[in-house]
Structure 1
């Protein structure tokens, strides 16, 4: 198994900027409203009852919404598609998503298409919060959240931050990924002048157990360095967290073995790795093709899901359209 070149904990170069984005509430904008600025927020609460998992409450502002919950695998698991009609984030825009998964509820969240961070305006200074997407996910006892969005495209010249904070209990389960695509290599527009920060934090019973952060800037050259992305334009992280279901080291070792066997079957050893980091399984992709990454992650999800929640994986219908 070839190890990826992405560090498990990559420090960014601008701590002040990132501290500004450590939100207490995902529905509170981070910056004063600017001209042509869209501040979008969406808070969803899912509850479990005798009728299964239901979308109990929705609070929204701006162009961020969902239609309804779908139940392709029965009432116990609600599939929800996150809709953002602008399909992209420009300078000054902020998207805030909060999911509350109540006790024993099970939600699968995905998107109908790729998200986009467009080129930032030239009249913003480096310290300004230019383009921001933040997700806060709260899982109660025995709750399950599968967060499986399609890829995020970060265009040349963007100044973007994508932050995901997961708060779960020992009895809950989180399966989620992010897929980041830098620049547009096929149109000869590499990511040379842009800035992008990806931050993932996972808390179990209020204790921080996984912190993963990478900041790509022209100054630090992490896109090109061997200890960074080594000139790869697509990088992705798939988090498998099931503290109770995978409590024993032997259970995690067995699942890691199964995942690595699947990686070998896919002939993806040079692009994908899996590591047990303090009880959290972290799967990495480093390559050049988002479609390839999605194919790999989908196959690995089909292996990880039964081990964590004792259910076979069923692809969301929106992925077939």
Structure 2
């Protein structure tokens, strides 16, 4: 794939030519495709395809030139009925990046006005990791407002020599504001493919009619759930993975959080879960898990993005 240097504030010719295949009408389509390339001077954001309000600032390098830190920006700060966000991250061979967001993502209450054509709100994130690349995808939480009609999909396509570490934290409703998630629906889909083979397929569909919201085999009435995924099939051997998992279990035991978090291996993936009522706690522990995992696949200690402290 040929790449070209583009100014961070400009769209590529390809993005300007791109058009959705249906009438926009009351729908807002947004597209952001990022291409990162490793060169002698380090990892650079070499190509951007952009349509609509999705954007990034310039790449930051708090860890040095090899690892680019990028902040995904969505100025509307939320997704409404008819919106469709398409985010793609392409990691070139040996490139390394940490990608996060400056604040929470939001799926707002869906509109019921039939004139908009459809009520669903869609966000799709697709990550493509080529040989020996490293991607850390660490977004802030996603809030699903009462009455939303949300599809949130994350697909990871990884070469067996690459490394992916990422998480998602889902908050249902606004319980602190006495506005729980009692109406609407959410479909959350996470998939991981390694060398074009499906390793992980995790789908949950929640609605006001779903017993999963309150049943003990579902969310048991908890408004927050999170998923943490590490895929490093070549870098982390099964023996090292067991050592890493033991360290994380010791962390959870020290914090007395075994009731809220779990961790295991599935098809070579290290997978952790959270179920509870605090998104801040989920993000805090996931961050500590990331700090434990990083020395196993990267020579540097974890450096938290500066945007997390503003």
1:31/1:187 CA distance change after superposition, 3 Å: farther
- TM-score for the superposition, normalised by structure 1: 0.88
Deviations 1:32-58 (A, max 9, x none): 345332100000100001110000000
CA distance in 2, matches of 1:67, 1:149: 15
Q: What is the deviation of 1:221? A: 2.2
* Alignment counterpart, residue 251 of structure 1, candidates 232, 240, 251: 240
Contact persistence 2:110–2:119 (CA under 8 A):
no
Aligned-partner SS, 1:163: strand
Aligned-partner SS, 1:222: helix
CA distance in 2, matches of 1:158, 1:305: 36
CA distance in 2, matches of 1:244, 1:35: 47
Is 1:189 matched up with 2:168? Answer: no
Q: Which residue of 2 aligns with 1:66?
A: 56
Q: Which residue of 2 aligns with 1:21?
A: none
Contact persistence 1:44–1:59 (CA under 8 A):
yes
Structure-to-structure mapping, 1:71-150, within 5 angstroms: 71-123=61-113, 128=118, 130-150=120-140
CA distance in 2, matches of 1:86, 1:304: 34
Contact persistence 1:31–1:129 (CA under 8 A):
no
CA distance in 2, matches of 1:245, 1:278: 15
CA distance in 2, matches of 1:132, 1:31: 16
CA distance in 2, matches of 1:181, 1:30: 30
Is 1:313 matched up with 2:308? Answer: no
Contact persistence 1:148–1:177 (CA under 8 A):
yes
Is 1:294 matched up with 2:256? Answer: no
1:250/1:28 CA distance change after superposition, 3 Å: farther
Deviations 1:83-136 (A, max 9, x none): 0000000000011101110000001000000000000011359x9461000011
Q: What is the deviation of 1:292? A: 1.0
Is 1:238 matched up with 2:238? Answer: no
1:48/1:141 CA distance change after superposition, 3 Å: same
* Alignment counterpart, residue 259 of structure 2, candidates 264, 267, 270: 270
CA distance in 1, matches of 2:18, 2:199: 26
1:223/1:31 CA distance change after superposition, 3 Å: farther
Kindly report the root-mean-square deviation, in angstroms, between the aligned alpha carbons of the 2 structures.
Answer: 1.8
CA distance in 1, matches of 2:37, 2:304: 22
- TM-score for the superposition, normalised by structure 2: 0.91
1:291/1:124 CA distance change after superposition, 3 Å: farther
1:33/1:306 CA distance change after superposition, 3 Å: farther
Q: Which residue of 2 aligns with 1:152?
A: 142
Contact persistence 2:78–2:107 (CA under 8 A):
yes
Unaligned 5+ segments in structure 1 are 1-26
1:199/1:160 CA distance change after superposition, 3 Å: same
Q: Which residue of 1 aligns with 2:44?
A: 54
CA distance in 2, matches of 1:300, 1:235: 16
CA distance in 2, matches of 1:310, 1:201: 27
Is 1:200 matched up with 2:190? Answer: yes
- Post-superposition, which runs of at least 4 consecutive aligned residues in structure 1 deviate over 4 A? 27-31
- How many residue pairs match? The answer is 293
